[in-house]
């Protein structure tokens, strides 16, 4: 069988297995999501598996960077990495065969193991993310205060600048030319020694 035929067969099997399961969702004919845990639960996440054109002879793409997973604390990025690494190892074992259902079931069996580093409730997550946000805001404020402040001019300085320019903010032609007579009168004439 070709890869396309194997994909079609697996698609039918997945849709029949997960028929009526609200946690399962087919986004496209080659992208599937499964949500573990309950809505608004800190220990829940969404796993997305996408098939490439050569699936099942090559591994599927495993994605944990979905919007739903934003509540997984970034300091505990190990949760996402642990899940992805485990699933890639599992997919390597089953290379060449339909593996999507197997990967979804693998997570189901080891769910508590993966989520042991994740806080138990959203309040803890919020406090941890607030601490991270406050730290980043303090760092940004420090950087902002380090910036050189713009020099403020007095009214007299502004008036002198305005008088040096025309109404358009441009200086008149020849404003920086040297007055030769004035320059020579200030430096004095130099006598060449007679030789």
Structural tokens at position 62: 């495993």
Instruction: Note the Cα 26 to chain centre separation in Å.
Output: 26
Contact 61, 17 (CB under 8 A): no
Return averaged pLDDT per consecutive 10 residues of the chain, 195 residues in all: 82 88 88 83 82 86 81 62 83 83 86 71 54 67 68 87 75 76 76 65
Q: Which of 2, 23, 24, 22 is nearest to 13 (CA)?
A: 24
pLDDT recorded at residue 75? 47
Spans of all domains in the chain: 3-124
Write out the CATH class of domain 3-124. alpha beta
Tell me the per-residue pLDDT of 97-154, one tens digit each, with 9 for 90 and over.
Answer: 888 888 888 888 887 787 776 666 555 545 555 565 666 676 777 666 666 677 888 9
Contact 36, 45 (CB under 8 A): yes
Q: pTM of the predicted model, to two decimals?
A: 0.56
């Amino acid at each position: 069988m070709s890869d396309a035929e194997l994909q079609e067969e697996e698609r039918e099997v997945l849709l029949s297995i997960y028929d009526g399961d609200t946690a399962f969702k087919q986004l496209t004919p080659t992208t599937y999501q499964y949500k573990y845990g309950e809505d608004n639960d800190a220990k829940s996440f969404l796993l997305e598996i996408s098939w490439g054109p050569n699936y099942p002879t090559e591994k599927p793409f495993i994605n944990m960077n979905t919007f739903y997973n934003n509540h997984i604390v970034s300091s505990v990025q190990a949760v996402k990495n642990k899940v992805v690494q485990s699933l890639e190892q599992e997919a390597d074992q089953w290379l060449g065969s339909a593996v999507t259902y197997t990967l979804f079931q693998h997570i189901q069996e080891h769910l508590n193991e993966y989520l042991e580093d994740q806080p138990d409730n959203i309040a803890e997550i919020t406090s941890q993310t607030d601490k991270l946000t406050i730290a980043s805001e303090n760092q940004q404020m420090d950087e902002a205060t380090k910036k050189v402040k713009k020099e403020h001019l007095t009214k007299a300085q502004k008036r002198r600048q305005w008088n040096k320019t025309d109404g358009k903010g441009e200086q008149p032609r020849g404003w920086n030319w040297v007055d030769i007579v004035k320059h020579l009168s200030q430096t004095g004439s130099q006598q060449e020694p007679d030789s």
